[in-house]
A and B are shown apart, each in its own frame.
Chain A
Amino acid sequence: MVENRPLTNFCSHAVLIFAIAIIAFPIWITFVAASHDAVRMTQTPLPLLPGDQFFINLKDTFTQGVGNAREQSVGLMLMNSLIMAMMIAVGKIIISLLSAFAIVYFRFPFRMGFFWMIFVTLMLPVEVRILPTFEVVANLGMLNNYWGLSIPLIASATATFMFRQVFLTVPDELLEAARIDGAGPMRFFKDILIPVSRTNIAALFVILFIYGWNQYLWPLLITTDKNMYTIVMGIKQMLEAAEESPEWHLIMMTTLLAMLPPIVVVVGMQKLFIKGLTETEK
Chain B
Amino acid sequence: MAEVILEDVVKAYSKTEVIHGISTTIADGEFIVIVGPSGCGKSTVLRMIAGLEKITGGIIRIDGQVVNKLEPKDRDIAMVFQNYALYPHMTVFNNMAYGLKLRKFGKDEIKQRVDQAAQLLQLEGLLDRKPRQLSGGQRQRVAMGRCIVREPKVFLFDEPLSNLDAKLRVQMRLELRKLHERLKVTSIYVTHDQVEAMTLGDRLIVINEGAAEQIGSPLELYEKPGTKFVAGFIGSPAMNFMDAHISRDGQWALMQGDIRLALANGGVPRFGGQQVIIGIRPEHFKIIVKGPQSMLLTVDHTEILGADTTVYGRFADTPGLITIRLPDIHHFKSETILPLSVAQAKIHIFDRETGARI
Contacts and interface: CB of A to CB of B under 8 A. Distances in A.
Contacts of B88: 196, 282
B89 A180 contact: no
Interface string B25-53: 00000000000000000000000001110
A200 to B, nearest CB: 13
B72 A180 contact: yes
Query: In terms of DSSP, what is the predominant structure of the interface of chain B?
Result: loop
A198 B85 contact: no
Contact of A183 (B79, B102, B150): B102
B73 A177 contact: no
B52 A179 contact: yes
A107 to B, nearest CB: 12
B335 interface: no
Contact of A171 (B52, B78, B85, B103): B85
Contact of B103 (A179, A182, A196, A198): A182
A192 B89 CA distance: 8
A179 B72 contact: yes
Main secondary structure of the interface of A (DSSP, over half): helix
Given A174-B87, A198-B89, A180 B103 contact: no
A192 B87 contact: yes
| Chain B contact patch, size range | 20 to 34
A244 interface: no
Interface residues of A, number: 18
Contact of B98 (A173, A191, A196, A198): A191
A141 interface: no
A187 interface: yes
Contacts of A51: none
A192 B99 CA distance: 13
A178 B73 CA distance: 9
B89 A176 contact: no
Interface in B165-223: none
Given A180-B79, A183-B98, A191-B87, 12 more contacts: A173-B81, A173-B82, A176-B50, A176-B79, A177-B81, A180-B52, A180-B99, A181-B98, A187-B102, A195-B90, A198-B89, A282-B88
Interface of A: 171, 173-174, 176-183, 187, 191-192, 195-196, 198, 282
